[in-house]
Amino acid sequence: MTNTHQNDLEPFLERWIFSHRGLLLIVFALVTLFLGYQAKSIRPDASFENMIPLEHPYIVKMLEHREDLGGGGNTIRIAVVAKEGDIFTPAYLEALKKLTDEVTFLKGVDRTGLKSLWTPNVRWLEVTEDGFVGGTVAPQTDQCNVSCADEVRANVLKSGQIGRLVANNFGSSIIEVPLQEVDPVSGERLDYPGFSKQLEQLRDRYQTEHGVSLHIVGFAKVVGDLFEGVSAVVVFFLAAIVITAVLLFFYSRCYRCTLVPLICSIIAVVWLLGLLQVLGFGLDLYSMLVPFLVFAIGVSHGVQMINNIGIESAKGICPLTASRHTFRALYIPGMIALVSDAIGFLTLLVIDINVIRSLAMAASIGVAVIILTNLILLPVLMSYVRVTDSGIRAAKKDHGGDGGIWKLVAHCASPVVAPVMIVVAVVFAGAGLYLSQDLKIGDLDPGAPELKPDSRYNLDNGYITGNYSTSADVFVTMVETAPQQCSSFETMDAIDRYMWTMQNVPGVQSTLSLVTASKQVIKGLNEGNPKWEALSRNSYVLNSSLQDATALYNTDCSLAPVMIYLDDHKAETLERVVAATEAFALQNNTDTLKFQMATGNAGIESATNQVIGSAQNQMLVWVYSVVALLCFATFRSLRAVFCIIIPLSITSVLCQALMAQLGIGIKVATLPVIALGVGIGVDYGIYIYSRLEGFLKEGMPLEQAYLMTLRTTGKAVVFTGVTLGIGVATWVLSPIKFQADMGLLLTFMFIWNMVGAICLLPALARFLLKPGAHPRELANPAT
Amino acid sequence: MKPEVWLPAFARRVSALGEATRSVKRYKAAAVSLLISTSLSSFPVAQASTVEAKLTEAKPSSELAMPTELASRSLLLDIDRLPDSERLVAVGERGHIVFSDDHGISWKQATVPTRQMLTAAVFPTADIGYAVGHDAVILKTEDGGKNWNKVYSDLELEKPLMDVWFRDADYGIAVGAYGLILRTRDGGKSWEDLYDAVENEDEFHYNAIAPLGEGLMIVGEAGTLYRSRDEGESWETLYGEYDGSYFGLISLPGENQALAHGLRGNVYRTRDGGDNWQQVELDTDQTLFGAIAVEGDVMMVGYSGVVVKGQGVSSATPEYKSHTRADRMTLSKVTLAANGSLVAVGQGGVHILSPASSTTGVQ
């Protein structure tokens, strides 16, 4: 061992810390109390704006026109399904009527805009010799009997609502519920989770009492379901703590060595949450992962400490000395590992999406906190408690024994096995590159990408898109004109041609704009004759045709949105729409008429995809440069950098291959994974390499030096990989799709980075660190 | 409750003629919200923009209809089979003209020098054909519908042409909205206005022009019926039993027999060249836009995918039966392909109504 016992060699930091242990403990306790109090008031935040790239030109345009585009999109749609037969039965219609009434009086509902077969704003219309004749679809009766049901059937057929409010197969009908984000009277914001819960209660009640089943979709429901999913996160966190505790105990065989790192790591999480609250960051659905990460990173560094303290204690020295030795041995590699984690995370700041930035900030803060809690507090605490006898026995057995498994693993550094490992690595890298060719950008599943494909919401969404002529994926192009010109023939004609151009783009289902409305009205005014379904050159006719279509242009008639309904929101579909729009805009945009992208869920998604597509490589370059630079700064050797970085990069490639094969796209949630994985994965390499270098400096041959490395730190590294994996693996169970994706990929990254560090690093060292070169190379090390 | 019959929110006759209102015998209201997508919540009502009554300049007339994959699935309004040919030609919105040489299975798009809606086409010979449409545009083909030239258009008129009839390659009449009627005697080189030849003070729309027996008939808006016995030189007003609009007229086997079809399932029949009309009772009240007579049977198509089949219509006991197609797409016209299948056009483009295996009759 390299420990020296002369006091003058003890760094100042160590001396100071261990001579002020009491003071430190009091300070830590006070800070924990304060930050714990702060952390209590932290609330999950599902702000929509944070998830989109606010500086992207599409989003800038969208926000510029937000007032004019209105909140038209925030609507809940409830499909009420008749369990038997069609909807034209008295029982069904009575249930629908009752539900319509109940929904009308939910808080947050815009009652005037609510639509169902029973609301007076749903009318039928007929062209007659005397003009239009119309009436409400719902008969004016108190009790709906058979003749009333027949009347509803007749009216529905004349209402044009088939495919909209009534399913194409007449098996269900929809209640359309526009919501008010802010109550106009009280100014209160809509309580999404509460609203969603009320809908769930209605769903259960109508299912059992009224013989109808409900399918509910809409942004508010997505948000509600996300919040519902968030509550599960607490359970995952507890599960992660319990599993980690059990593993720690099996590892150390010492309850003290189990509790201390756990407590220190939990303190780190408390500090993190408190700091986030104090600094005003808050937690969103993405940064919610960070406490898990911080806990896992904390434990993994704690394990390194405990491991070393156990080994020291096994020598029979007192806890204080054991802690001091451990601190001395580990605070530099620990600090470097943590700083490289933090800097790795900070590279995520290059991405112009708030949730990723706050994730990066939160993770960096968390890692900084770990430096205090697990590199300082932990050894200080351990200096008060003695490792239990069973713990010492375990450490002795491990360290003193011949470590059969480690001998086997140490062969990775042998001249025979090393080339094999290299070949295996090359094969893996090649296979990874090949399999990652299909890697896509963006969300690939239909419905709400935030939720799992088999979630209740997405099943509901599937039912509605399957039975109604509507699509959930809308790309909106904003057409800007001079004031009062949105209804001019030139504008309308250009929009008309744009719409037809887009309808010919594969993946586009239909389009809608003020042109659609105008043509329908002009046709309607001419007895429904399709030969009139065209724009008029007459400005009076055009203006008049738009009188009732005010939702399709803004108040001064300078903006008209064009809704483009898509088959899906896959990246290729969006790219085709964007390319076609760009080409059209290039030919048709003038000073007073501009086709501007984009809003609608698909428009926002294409902006996000573009940002992610360009940030992806940028981020990889950054994170690898930073990590490589840190490794170089630490070890002053390019060879060391290669030994550490190559295993990491192979894991990154494999992770991309895994994403491609599992159909997980690169998106807001998965983009940070590689940065996090690399940032944390580098720890293993740093710990192993620093030990290995130490033993090599003592003049040991590589294979023996590596065996010694494994015996001292190998177990801790394996354990670290496993703890980190477990910390995030519980996320796979999250009902929130992107959390599950993140959990899965991070688990993969953590475990494989560990395997790479243990098996590939020594093999690379065999070739990169020439045995003969060691004495000379190591003659002037930095330390 | 709103009144069941809405009063005019919009006076249709406010047209390029500059007249503010005009007494029309019925009113039409813009009940837009029921016609267009209902998924949008409405804003506070915007002021309709003030626009001077200036005529809008048209896009360069050289603009060709955009060639697209989906042209045969866009809104098509008329379909015809070329005489002595298997070719079908259909015309519709955006200057779309498509033709098929396999009885309507596959379609190619013709080169057409307009992007305006075309409403009707006619082929006096297998090579020569005419198509008419909005902007009073008249197109001519001399190669069986593959390439078209513009022979007439009048943007400032702001009146669409609705139908066209040709006696032979050179002599024909096009009719349209607001009493528009034009005649050529020289294969489209020159067109003369027959406005004054028809008594139509209210400028009702002429929806169709078709031969009936020895004469020629125009049917149109508000029950208008006109007959010419001198190929359009002079027109006499006929008085039918119906005040609503007719959208078409088909001759039936037998001298001077015809059906006029129109609004809300109203079909009237004459056996004496148009002097007397009797209503045909149907089991539908959907508007019928197009029809075809095949021997003693007829098929009429119309609003919301309604298809009416009539059997033995010249007999004493004709039978009419209607059904609604599942897709509920409005159909504008139907024709008989050379292989005996019935091919209709309308919303969603071409629809083959009956398979090729059926005989030439309408079953």
What 3-state DSSP class applies to A7? Answer: helix
Residues of A in contact with B50 (CB under 8 A): 484
Give pLDDT tens digits for A529-541: 999 999 888 888 8
What 3-state DSSP class applies to A115? Answer: strand
Cα–Cα–Cα angle for A50, A52, A54, nearest 5°?
90
Q: Return the CA Rg of chain A.
A: 32
In this structure, what token pair is assigned to residue B211? 């031969």
Q: Which residues of A108-123 are buried (b: 16+ CB within 10 A; e: fewer)?
A: bbbeebbbbbbbeebb
Q: Which of A600-604, A770-774, B250-254 has the lowest mean pLDDT?
A: A770-774
Find the mean pLDDT for residues A641-668.
Answer: 89
Please report the residues numbered 376 through 435 in chain A whose beta carbons come closer than 8 angstroms to any beta carbon of chain B.
none
A7–B contact, CB cutoff 8 A: no
A123–B contact, CB cutoff 8 A: yes
Q: What residues contact A704, with CB distance under 8 A and at least 6 apart?
A: A695
Q: Residue with structure tokens 């790309």?
A: A475
Residues of A in contact with B12 (CB under 8 A): 525-526
A541–B contact, CB cutoff 8 A: yes
This prediction has a pTM of 0.80
pLDDT for A203 equals 92
What 3-state DSSP class applies to A471? Answer: coil
Amino acid B157 reads L
Find the mean pLDDT for residues A713-719.
Answer: 81
The chain B residue lying nearest A536, using CA atoms, is: B158
pLDDT for B362 equals 43
Pick from A72, A527, A550: which is nearest to B45 by CB?
Answer: A550
C-beta atoms of B43 and A555 within 8 A: yes
Please report the residues numbered 87 through 116 in chain A whose beta carbons come closer than 8 angstroms to any beta carbon of chain B.
110, 113, 115
The chain B residue lying nearest A72, using CA atoms, is: B41
Shortest CA distance to A674 belongs to which of A288, A348, A353, A349? Answer: A348
The chain A residue lying nearest B119, using CA atoms, is: A531
pLDDT above 70 (res A583): yes
Residues of A in contact with B345 (CB under 8 A): none
Strand partners, A134: A125
Shortest CA distance to A690 belongs to which of A717, A650, A718? Answer: A717
The residue that leads in pLDDT, B172 or A719, is: B172
pLDDT above 70 (res B48): no
Give pLDDT tens digits for A109-132: 888 878 888 888 887 877 777 767
Query: Looking at the predicted complex, does its ipTM rise above 0.90?
Result: no
Residue A240 pLDDT level (bands cut at 50, 70, 90) = confident
Amino acid B121 reads A
| C-alpha distance from residue B324 to each of A132, A274, A632 (Å) | 22, 67, 77
The residue that leads in pLDDT, A303 or A772, is: A303
Q: Is A340 left (phi over 0), alpha (psi -120 to 50) or beta?
A: alpha
Residue B355 pLDDT level (bands cut at 50, 70, 90) = low
pLDDT above 50 (res B165): yes
**Residue A575 CB neighbour total at 10 angstroms:** 17
pLDDT above 80 (res A177): yes
* Helix or strand (DSSP H, E) at A301: helix A289-314
pLDDT above 50 (res B26): no
Pick from A178, A524, A532: which is nearest to B31 by CB?
Answer: A524
Q: Residue with structure tokens 């008969």?
A: A139
The residue that leads in pLDDT, B165 or A111, is: B165
Find the mean pLDDT for residues A650-662.
Answer: 90
pLDDT above 70 (res B100): yes
pLDDT for A419 equals 85
C-beta atoms of A533 and B93 within 8 A: yes
pLDDT for A10 equals 61
Residues of B in contact with A115 (CB under 8 A): 38
CA atoms within 13 A on the CB side of A645: 21
Shortest CA distance to A65 belongs to which of A439, A598, A432, A526? Answer: A598
Q: Is A563 left (phi over 0), alpha (psi -120 to 50) or beta?
A: beta
| Cis geometry, peptide bond prior to residue A598 (ω within 30 degrees of 0) | yes
pLDDT for A452 equals 83
Give pLDDT tens digits for A310-320: 888 888 888 88
Find the mean pLDDT for residues A477-498.
Answer: 90
pLDDT for B124 equals 94
C-beta atoms of B41 and A113 within 8 A: yes
Residues of B in contact with A504 (CB under 8 A): 68-70
pLDDT for A57 equals 87
C-beta atoms of A534 and B93 within 8 A: yes
Find the mean pLDDT for residues B239-266.
Answer: 89
Find the mean pLDDT for residues A598-608.
Answer: 85
Give pLDDT tens digits for B110-126: 999 999 999 999 999 99
Q: At what angle do helices A319-346 and A600-635 cross, to 10 degrees?
A: 130
Residues of B in contact with A516 (CB under 8 A): 36-37
Give the whole-angstrom CA distance, residue B350 versus residue B362: 18
Give pLDDT tens digits for A33-85: 999 998 887 777 666 677 778 888 888 888 888 777 755 457 788 999 988 88
Average pLDDT over chain B, rounded to whole?
80
C-beta atoms of A525 and B12 within 8 A: yes
A129–B contact, CB cutoff 8 A: yes
Residues of A in contact with B220 (CB under 8 A): none
Average pLDDT over chain A, rounded to whole?
84
Give the whole-angstrom CA distance, residue A689 versus residue A685: 6
Find the mean pLDDT for residues B175-179.
Answer: 93
Pick from A129, A536, A553: which is nearest to B243 by CB?
Answer: A129
Q: What residues contact B75, with CB distance under 8 A and at least 6 apart?
A: A530, A533, B92, B93, B346, B347, B348, B349
Residues of A in contact with B70 (CB under 8 A): 503-504
Amino acid B286 reads Q
Residues of A in contact with B135 (CB under 8 A): 537
Q: At what angle do helices A671-697 and A319-346 cross, to 10 degrees?
A: 140
Percent of chain A at pLDDT exceeding 90? 16
pLDDT above 50 (res B12): no
